[in-house]
Structure formats: C-alpha cells, structure tokens
Structure 1
Amino acid sequence: MHLQPQPEPLDRSWDDEHVIPPELGPDTVFLFDRMTKDTLEAVGARPEARVLDVGCGRGLDLASQSGKGSILIGCDPSGVMVRRARETLREKGVQPMVVCCSAEHLPFASGSLHRVYCKGAIDHFYDPQRALKEMARVLSPGGRLVISVANFESLGCRLGRLYNRLHRIFTGKELPRPHFWEIPKDHVYRFHKELLFEFMPPGIQLLNLRGISLFWGVPGWGAFLKRTPPEARELLLGMLDRLGRVFPSLADVIVLRAQKPVEKEAAKTTSGVAERAKGEEMNLNTRIQGLLICAGTVVAAMLFLIGLILKSYWALAIPVAIGFLWLLGLAFWIGWTLLTIRVEPPGE
C-alpha cells in the first residue's frame, strides 16, 4: 500500500500588505532597524559564502547584502512573497535565487550552505523545531545559524499583561484588542528564550545570545516617545537597547547566533545548547542582582541629594537608613561567610 504524502499546512498566497501599519511609532522604527542591523551583523556574509534567508519575505534583507560578494539565496512558502523577493533582487541588479518551499522541507543538500538565518519568521512556521533541524542539516561544518524572533515574555509584554489586569480590576473591562502581548493571527508559536533553546537541534553550539530594545508596545510608551525631542528619544532608546542586550530574557527581540561544529569539535562537544542555556541563566541572575544593587544605590543617592536641596529631614533620613541597613547586611554576610566556610586541612 502506497501512502500519499500529507499536504503541508501552508498559506501559499500569504501577503504582508496587511501586516505593516501605514504609520510606525518611533519605538517600532527603532526596533525594526536594530533587529535588521543586529541580525545581519550576526550573519556576517562574506565573499563566496552561500547565504540562505529562510522566510525571506520581500527579499529586502537579501538585497541589503548584495555588496558583500556572497551567493544570496532566499526561500519562502508564499508564492506571492517569492515573486516580490525576485523583483526586489532584480531592482538591485542581483540574480534572484529565491525558491518557494517551506522551512520544514528545505530543498538543499546537507552541508551545502555557509550561513543560514531566519529573521522574524520562525514563529510563523507550523513546525519550528523541524525547521531548525533542517537549517542545521543544510549548514556546512563551521557554518553559522542566526535566529531573531519576537520575545513574548519580554518586560514590555509582562508590563502590558499587568496593566491590563489592573485595568480590568479597577474598571471591569480589558484594554482594547488586539493585545500586543498575545500572538497575532498569522503567528503559530509564542516564542521566548526558553522555547528557543528547547527547539535548538542537538550538536549546534550556541555562540551568542543578545536582546534588542525594551518596553516596545507598553501602553503610552509610543505616545511619550513621540512627544520627546529626537535627540533625547534616540539617547533613551539607545540606553534601553543596551540594557536589552545584557538581559535578553526581558528584551523585545532575541537574536541567537550559533554554529555547526566541525567534526572534530562535534566529537568533543558534550555540553550542547542546554548547558549553555544554564550558564546564560546564571549570568542573567548575576546581572539582575548587579542591576538591582546599582539601581538601589542610584535611588538612595538621588534621595540624599533631594534631601540636601530641600533641607528635608525625611528625605535625608531615608537614604541614610538605606545605607545603614546595607552596611548591616554586608557585615552579616561577611560574618556568615566566615562562620560557614570550610577549610580542608593540608594533606599529610
């Protein structure tokens, strides 16, 4: 008995005309620009390298790399987007090599590509775990894999959910839909850092994980930025972006850079992505503790300065009390460390 292959659940006529709004807020423009810049920097296209854009859409990212001397290849499951990508590349004077296929079934030979990247598309795929295995399969040993995806556990999404919950408690109604912390209709998966690590195929080495931007979508944030002078706005967005780089779990977008090890390295590799993820989590916890200490110090200093200016007893007493408690806590920690430390006697 010969079984017919099941058709893939794909929208072959998908069009992005309805996706991008006619007017973008300053936070959205910043986020899109940084996402594109960081993703393509992580890809690092070079002369003669075969570069594949999975879910290439209109082919704009491929076209922007046309001066790198790379062999540029795109793929997309939508025939509409494939036609548009070919038009974009022709306008740039690039020979279009764009194929219509799903990410779950890439029509390329194993180990045939030097760079594979997927920017903002993996949460649209019907089976992203299989898609990542396919991307790893077509990579050559030493080849680079780059994934950038929206983080639905970002600080902005968490604040949005909290604000909506409080709004419902006090008004009896939710905020108007659509909610930015919920996946849109054309998305399939709700990605975050842990899910991305879980889906990574075995044997792939994680090189770098960074975040992009903070607070995107938070109610009132875009309106506030519109009223802010351009210089101050760029400074503020840049500072938050640097924080997002340090705390990718809280950032609006996650950019993962990995590589397929060469055979000798693969034989030595035992940790894999899961243990690197554990290390990243430990680093994150350390950074969060450092951030809280720094933030508390800055707040105490500001209160102290305000107290000096206003000559207020309470404004002076609060930071002094904070400092005194901090010193007591430090003294207790030193005492506890001395009390519990265990010193092994020297061997005979």
Structure 2
Amino acid sequence: MPGSPPRGGITGLARAGPSGRGDAGRASRWEENEGEQTVTVAPEQYARWRRSALGEVTDRIELDLVLTLAGPLAGKRVLDVGCGDGVLAVAAATRGAQVTGVDNSPRMLGAAKERATSQGMMVRLQQADARALPFPDASFDVAVAMTSLCMVTDAEAAVREMARVILPGGRVVIGDPGRRSLWAIWRRLRQRLGNTTWREVRFWTPQELNGLLRSAGLEPETVRGAVYYPPVGPAARLFGPIDGLPRAITTLGAAFLAAVAWKHPAVA
C-alpha cells in the first residue's frame, strides 16, 4: 500500500485513503462495525488513485509482485482476503484461477462484481471477517492479502485463518506497507499533522512479516520489496520501469513489502 489504499472494509480492518495524500484522507470516514471502528474508502477513491500518474505506476508494480510470489495460478483455488474493488481477484482469474474474494464492505464487493462482470471473469464474492473466514479447512491452494492486513486489529488471527483454509503445501502471500521508506515517513508526518486515515496503519519490517507468518505455523520463503521511488508522480514515471533492480539487492527503502510462505504438509 505505498500508494494504493488498503482494499475494502473487512471487520477488524481500518481502510486508508489512496496514497495518504490530498482529499483521500478527508473522504475517508469512520464506521462502527460490530463494536469496532474502521476507516472505509469509497470505490471512487480507488479509481481516482489509479488514474493518477503515481497511482497507475505504483498499483501495477504492487500487483505484479504479489502475483509473481503467488506462483502459477491456472486451475488453482485462490482466496483474496480484503479484495476491495477486485483488481487482484480479477487479475488472478485472468490467469486461470478459481477466485473467491472476501470483504466486509458491500460497496467494495459491488465494485468488485462490476469489475469482474465487465471483464468477463467469474469471481465468487462474499462478505466476511478476515479473522473468522467462513470456509472449511483446506479449501484453497493460495490465500492472498494485499494492502489489507496492515489495518487488521489482530493480524495474527487473520493469518491463522488464511493458513487454516489453504491445503498443506499451499501458499500464503501478504503484501503490505514497508516501514523503512520515504512513503512511511510521509504518512507518519501526515498522521502527526492530524490526518486520521493513517493513524491505525501498521508498517512492517521483513522480519515482522516473517514472524507473522511463522506465528500461523507457516514456513516463510522470501520477502521482496517494491516501490523504491518517492511518493510523487514524476518519480514514479521515471523510476517505475527500473523498480525491480533494487529488489534483487535489498528491501531497505521499499514502500511495499510482499512476503510468501507455504503450509507444511505436517500442519493440519
């Protein structure tokens, strides 16, 4: 989520605005959800973000990295946790996956349905709590959470649920904001200046993401970084095409971190 907003409104998630800039924070609003407050983002905010120079480049880079770590998806059953307006879910479906997207925001689910329909893709969509997924054990091959767990009040519980619903040998991919980046500094500054959108966001280190995955009984495989440029449109256009170069060397400075882990066959 360096620039992209967290994607939806799962119970236990507080959703931030696109890039944490401009009117995104002001357009966000607090809602009560089963006794918890969450920040919700309108689908229109996602659309505005992706139309910007910064958003168009950043969103594509994040999505490509998460899909790469998810591996070949043809014929796989994929769960998108916090699917938002369905960009990742539809992208996975175009790669031949059988996709289920969950979110707690009816508006986001409606936007995801509209996106899937307009692109001729079949995606199963369901309102659900990330910490209590309504699926039997071992229902999926891959579970993905992209820019959503950063706002979960109990991320450990959500990842345990993701681990529970994948098959032994399956993969879990998490993509969330990195702590050691210019984007994180900018967002913390905005929060100190009174922007409530980012006050509940969690910024991760690679070690913390690996620890989160291990806490669910998963075996971490790798953590990759992305979005090494400053949060301005010209920088995204200039450095976006070569953003993969520092990825091979370090995660330091990456505004977005993506971690992948697999479920050991011995873990039921």
Structure 2 segments unaligned to the other structure (5+ residues): 1-32
CA distance in 2, matches of 1:185, 1:178: 6
Residues 1:105 and 2:119 aligned together: no
Is it true that 1:75 corresponds to 2:89 in the alignment?
A: no
**Unmatched 5+ stretches in structure 1:** 1-5, 165-174, 268-348
Per-residue deviation, residues 63-111 of structure 1 (Å, max 9, x unmatched): 1233333211000011111122122222222334111011111001111
- Distance (Å, rounded) in 2 between the aligned partners of 1:20 and 1:94: 19
Q: In structure 1, what is the equivalent of residue 20 of structure 2?
A: none
Residue equivalent to 1:195: 208
Shift of 1:7: 3.4
| 1:211 counterpart residue number | 225
Summarize the Cα distance change of 1:19–1:126 in structure 2 as closer, same or farther, 3 Å threshold.
farther
Q: 1:142 to 1:124 in 2, by over 3 A?
A: same
| TM-score of the two chains, using structure 2 as the length reference | 0.74
* Separation (CA, whole Å) in 2 of partners of 1:178 and 1:11: 16
Which letter maps to 2:105? S
Contact 1:124 1:188 in 2 (8 A): yes
Q: Which residue of 1 aligns with 2:259?
A: 256
In the alignment, is residue 136 of structure 1 matched against residue 151 of structure 2? no
Residue by residue over 1:219-254, the C-alpha shift from the partner in whole angstroms, topping out at 9 and shown as x without a partner, is xxx37638xxx6xx2xx4444542144211431110
Matched residue, 1:278 = none
Checking the alignment, whether the CA contact within 8 Å between 2:93 and 2:122 is kept in structure 1 is no
**CA apart distance, 1:37:** 0.8
Given the alignment, which residue of 94, 98, 111 partners 2:121? 94
Hey, what's the Cα distance between the residues in 2 that align with 1:145 and 1:136? Answer: 7
Distance 2:47 2:36 in 1: 23
Q: What residue identity is the alignment partner of 1:215?
A: Y
- Residue 210 of structure 2 aligns to a residue in which SS? helix
Contact 1:155 1:250 in 2 (8 A): yes
User: Following the alignment from structure 1 to structure 2, what is the Cα–Cα distance between the partners of residues 198 and 183?
Assistant: 28
Per-residue deviation at 1:188? Answer: 4.0
The structure with the greater share of residues assigned to helix is 1
**Larger strand proportion of the pair:** 2
- Structure 2 CA distance for aligned equivalents of residues 179 and 98 of structure 1: 37
CA distance 1:84–1:225, shift in 2 (3 Å): closer
Higher relative contact order (CA 8 A, sep 6+): 2
Q: Secondary structure at the match of 1:184?
A: helix
Root-mean-square deviation (CA, aligned residues, Å) is 3.3
1:175-199 CA distance string (max 9 Å, x none): 8x4679x983474433333332332
> TM-score, normalising length from structure 1?
0.58
Q: Distance in 1 between matches of 2:50 and 2:74?
A: 37
Q: Distance in 2 between matches of 1:183 and 1:154?
A: 20
Q: 1:183 to 1:147 in 2, by over 3 A?
A: farther
Single out whichever of 105-114 and 192-201 deviates more from structure 2.
192-201
Distance 1:183 1:11 in 2: 11
Read off the aligned partner of 2:82 and give its amino acid letter. Answer: G
> Is 1:39 aligned to 2:53, yes or no?
no
Count of aligned positions: 234
